[in-house]
Amino acid sequence: ARDLAVWRAHDLKIPIALVSATPSLETWLAGKSGRYQHLRLDQRAQGAGLPKVNLINTKDARNQFSPGDEDRPIEKISLSKPLVNAVRENLASKKQSLILINRRGFAPVLSCNACSWLSKCHQCSSYLVMHKAGALGHKASLSCHHCGLMRPVPSSCPDCGNVDLKPLGQGTQKIEDAIASLWSSARVLRIDTDSSRTSKGAEALFQEIHNGSADIVVGTQMIAKGHDYQNIGLVAVLDADNRLFSQDFRAAERLFAQLVQVAGRAGRASRDGEDGGNIYIETQFPDAAVFQYLLKHDVDGFLSYIAGEREEAKLPPFTYQGLVHAEAKSLEKALHFLGSLKGRLKGAGLITKDLQVYDPVPRSMMKIAGSERAQLVVESSDRRTLQDALEWIDRDLREISQGRISKGSKVRWLIERDPISI
């Protein structure tokens, strides 16, 4: 959408303003190089200070409740001691708290301790997520967040018959229950796609925050950006490490952007010299660059750091990429389809020192809704060379296809230019 808007403005010869607290690396470099005029807003609209960033090392035993703690919760909870104390103080000061965990449902997977059975989805390369009763139906259920498959929660293990099944991990519903057990008098509101679909709708839920009907809000990335909350004094991010390590080289950039955006929800109504609120981040890796630059609210420093990493590794935006997707009933068919394409590229003399074509590999989410998926990365340091190669690929595949499905092997294919995730 951004690139299309830039092109339309260029075509119509009119100005375009790209506005963000967290610009992409590509946009930031365009501003640094002078291609874009860079306008900076270095302080909040009403002059309040930026929120104070607090990192909670979850590997440090001192940050966890122990049996000797006087204020230890009656039930075992998954929140750290510094965070519980901070929320308690925030409630006492009549401020709202925002708890972000980017995972809906009660638990990401159901497990059997006896035989190690896991609630896998039979149609996807993922697990069925456990949802408590009332979220997706009258009874607790297992749901795939990729294909939509739903199953009732089994009363015993399907493999060994063990009745002691355990939910692993935590989602918004589990955190909602934990908070309700800690502060029974607090008004807790959960906002995710489940709650917005089954109750009043997203707008009505957000209105409850704005009019002060909620003391503690638990939600996914739906609550993280674009909302002008007026009484949020504390923002907490749980399981931040979930997006820190990934096969996608943009994972750290996306995490940093999300943390900056959600931190900006705190202290928005404060004025000159007033407290800008607090953000607490639970992590096992507090020394990671993402968190260290966030401590200083140094967006430029972080983008400069990852620009150096990308340039050294010859990754976008210092090189250009295209992605050929293939989807079939079997992984072998998809890989063979892309392997044959690479062979034809080589035979046509298109694979040179200026154009690199990697071997076809399965997608990170290999199977969705019964279809197996593979990908082929095409890369060049020259934009024109890459575009010519992708045009050749498009013509070549169309000759053997009906629409975007190959005639013989029935492989569905798609070409993605400048892929935003690999």
**Strand 96-100, strand 232-237: pairing:** parallel
Residue 212 CA to residue 95 CA, distance in Å, equals 9
Structure confidence at residue 209 (pLDDT): 86
**Residue found by looking up tokens 């909870």 in the block:** 77
Pairing of strands 412-417, 165-168: unpaired
Contact yes or no for 379/356 (Cβ under 8 A)? yes
Mean pLDDT along residues 295-300 = 93
pLDDT at residue 298 greater than cutoff 90: yes
Which residue in 262, 298, 297 sits closest to 280, CA to CA?
A: 262
Residue 95 and residue 102: Cα distance in Å, rounded? 23
Mean pLDDT across the stretch 50-65? 90
How many Å apart are CA 6 and CA 267, to the nearest integer?
33
pLDDT of residue 378: 97
Q: Which pair of structure tokens corresponds to residue 61?
A: 């035993």
Report how far apart, in Å, the C-alpha atoms of 238 and of each of 100, 122, 207, 221, 355 are.
6, 29, 24, 12, 42
The residue with tokens 């072998």 is 332
Yes or no: say if 305 and 289 are a contact pair by the CB < 8 Å rule.
yes
Q: Which amino acid is at 138?
A: H
How far, in Å, CA of 80 to CA of 58, rounded? 7
Per the prediction, the chain carries an average pLDDT of 90
How far is C-alpha 336 from the geometric centre of its chain's CA atoms?
31
Residue-wise pLDDT tens digits, 152-175: 999 999 999 999 999 999 999 999
Q: Which pLDDT tens digit goes with each residue over 254-273?
A: 999 999 999 888 876 666 66
Pairs from 165-168 (Cβ < 8 Å, separation ≥ 24)? 165/110, 165/111, 165/112, 166/110, 166/111, 166/112, 166/113, 167/106, 167/107, 167/109, 167/110, 167/111, 167/130, 168/107, 168/108, 168/109, 168/110, 168/111
| pLDDT per position as a tens digit, 334-353 | 999 999 999 999 999 999 99
**pLDDT tens per residue across span 107-131:** 999 999 999 999 999 999 999 999 9
Above 80 in pLDDT, residue 201?
no
pTM: 0.88
